[in-house]
Amino acid sequence: MQQPVTLRLGDIRPGRNPRKYFDPSKMAEMIESVRTQGIIQPVLVRPLEDGSHELVAGERRVRAARQAHGDDYAMPVVIRPMDEFTARSLALVENIQRDDMAPSEEAVAGAEIVGLCQGDRDEAARQIGWSRSMLDSRLALMNCSASVLEALNTRTIKLGHAELFAAFTKEQQDKILPVVVKEGHTVADLKSVLERAACSLNAAIFDKSDCAGCQHNSAAQAEMFGESIGTGNCTNRNCYNEKTEKQLDATAAGLRDEFQTVRIVRPGDNHTRIQLVADGAKGVGVEQAKACYGCQSFGAAVSGLPDSLGKVYKGQCFDTVCNMKKVAARIKSEKPETPAAKAAASSGSSKASSAAAGDKPSAAAPEATAVAESDRVKTYRVALWRKALRREVSQDPALARRYLLAIVATGQARSIEAGPLNTIWERLIDGKPPVGDFGKAAGAAAALDADNEARLMIAVTMSAIQGVDVPYLTSMCRHHKLDLTKHWKLDKEFLELVTKSEMKVVADELGLRKAMGDDFRKVFAKSKSEVIAALLSVDGFDYTGKVLKVLKF
């Protein structure tokens, strides 16, 4: 365990505390305690690149010490090296596990932890120490308007009120809230209104043809709130929600040909996605953005939120931690070198002389622009390797014998199946192989001429290549220096495995975008099948000799 040391309090930078409210009476008690006894339990800080330290956990103690002793106080700390994202996670979990956080603050912190867990709510609940139902109920508060959250924080309304308000649009919440507060309506009162009048048919995203004559279609308003909610509501919430969910699912399904990941986002999913951009303060850089288009975390979001129900947001990154790291790397690569860095780099090399002249360092090398290695692409790739290697080995009997000996000698004889050999046997020798009769089989083999014996040996090698596991197959391909350009060119089978956004990566890598010129953008506005047809029929483009990185071993 790391031993605590002390740092000047004024030299500790503020961290990312999700807590916004500190009870004045409790803080006063802590300040008085610190004034007489000092800080007993050290706070947690992390070192930064510039030599300073940032607070990770212990803000109440820092505030109390500053009030009691000022910035020159020798603050006991534990210094633990960690990256920004580990620090954020620790700060969130440390605060959320305390019992005096407001529900709204718990909601914000919980949503951030869900984002750090890439949308996995079960894992987020485990890290926090909550049940899944507890997490979901807190995350639902993320759909509350600012005025409702403020009313909850000040105890003007109860938590039950806020959870019900979350089902309304924010505009409706702000209209209903004053009525609830002024007239002192209970949670049960609000629930009654929600059940009877919150499902606006005007805002419904599904086909409402069947709703016109439905007995649950009522323009009558809840007397309690007059015109606060609006007219034309469905009073059968279960039916309304079921139709809404089906429409959300249908919208999402229609996007899966275009994007690797498509998700319906709910209240509390605030930090599970971010718009992917190349430029600006939150940009990952142009080259990195191209790589991101082929990532499994790139896609589209369908809103399940009351204020934007059914809306589609394309170009989303669903790995926000990775996105933040890429943004940070881009920003770091664009910073000019410090004098100290230039001095350290000046060792007489040409690179050092360039740095001394004040040039900016070159941007960090972007990740390879490639199609994501989905299970479907991996299956296609391995099948291609086996087929290509078998084809080349089948043309050289001597090579087939050497490879077969190597396969057996390295313990891979178990990968040989009798099927391919038996097929050739039946073709060369009249009748099926004598199963279980070694003598008869040996006699038949002895009667073979040299050519037919070589064919059978090749068949055994082909069977082995087909049966070896993927790591072993990869080593065989590398040893053989298998040239895939002789065995593959872009085809419909491969393109049907990837999304439209990944097809743009394919087009960039093979040179199709440049060959298509101005037609490229027009083509990608069409359906997936039309895009495939267009990519496979570019006039004057030579498809041979070009292999995608994702298919290489």
Amino acid, res. 36: T
Could you tell me the pLDDT band of residue 357, with boundaries at 50, 70 and 90? very low
Q: Name, in order, each residue with C-beta under 8 angstroms of 320's C-beta and a sequence gap of 6 or more.
A: 115, 116, 118, 271, 272, 273, 274
Pairing of strands 217-218, 199-200: unpaired
pLDDT at 89 over 50: yes
What residue ranges of the chain are covered by domains with CATH 3.90.1530.30? 5-101
Residue 496, Cα to own-chain centre: how many angstroms? 22
Q: How far apart are CA 185 and CA 201, in angstroms?
A: 26
Return phi, psi of residue 514, to 5°: -65, -40
Residue 537, Cα to own-chain centre: how many angstroms? 34
What pLDDT was estimated at residue 93?
Answer: 74
- Percentage, residues of the chain above pLDDT 90: 38
What pLDDT was estimated at residue 225?
Answer: 41
More confident residue, 490 or 445: 490
More confident residue, 419 or 68: 68
| Residue 51 in tokens | 């030599």
Task: Point out the least confidently predicted range of 141-150, 264-273, 334-343.
Answer: 334-343
Candidates 3.90.1530.30, 3.30.2310.20, 3.40.50.970, 3.40.50.720; correct CATH number of 5-101? 3.90.1530.30
pLDDT in tens, 227-262: 444 446 787 888 888 999 999 999 999 898 888 899
Task: Point out the least confidently predicted range of 21-35, 295-309, 366-380, 455-469.
Answer: 366-380
Which residue in this structure is represented by tokens 């984002």? 115
What pLDDT was estimated at residue 99?
Answer: 53
pLDDT in tens, 366-398: 333 457 788 889 999 999 999 999 999 999 999
- 480 vs 385, 402, 455, 487, CA distance in Å? 11, 12, 20, 14
Helix (H) or strand (E) segment spanning residue 62: helix 59-69
467 HSE (CA, 13 A, CB side):
19
DSSP readout, 160-213?
A: HHHHHHTTS-HHHHHHHHHHHHHHT--HHHHHHHHHHH-EESTT--S--GGGTT
Could you tell me the pLDDT band of residue 453, with boundaries at 50, 70 and 90? confident
Q: Which of 31-40, 277-286, 296-305, 476-485 has the highest mean pLDDT?
A: 476-485
* Exposure string for 369-383, b = 16+ CB within 10 A, e = fewer: bbbbebeebeebbbe
Helix (H) or strand (E) segment spanning residue 317: strand 312-317
3-state secondary structure 215-282: CCEECCCCHHHCCCCCCCEECCHHHHHHHHHHHHHHHHHCCCCCCCEEEEECCCCCCCCEECCCCCCC
What pLDDT was estimated at residue 245?
Answer: 94
Average confidence (pLDDT) over 337-350: 49
What pLDDT was estimated at residue 430?
Answer: 67
More confident residue, 545 or 217: 545
pLDDT in tens, 137-178: 899 999 999 999 888 888 889 999 998 998 888 888 999 999
More confident residue, 472 or 203: 472
What pLDDT was estimated at residue 363?
Answer: 34
Q: How far apart are CA 330 and CA 279, in angstroms?
A: 10
Amino acid, res. 438: F
Task: Note whether 313 and 298 are within 8 A (CB).
Answer: no
Q: How far apart are CA 255 and CA 261, in angstroms?
A: 9
Could you tell me the pLDDT band of residue 2, with boundaries at 50, 70 and 90? low
What's the distance, Cα to Cα, between the start and end of the chain in Å? Answer: 44
Could you tell me the pLDDT band of residue 355, with boundaries at 50, 70 and 90? very low
Q: How far apart are CA 386 and CA 394, in angstroms?
A: 12
pLDDT in tens, 203-233: 889 988 888 778 777 644 344 344 444 446 7
pLDDT at 348 over 60: no
Return phi, psi of residue 202, to 5°: -65, -35
More confident residue, 284 or 363: 284
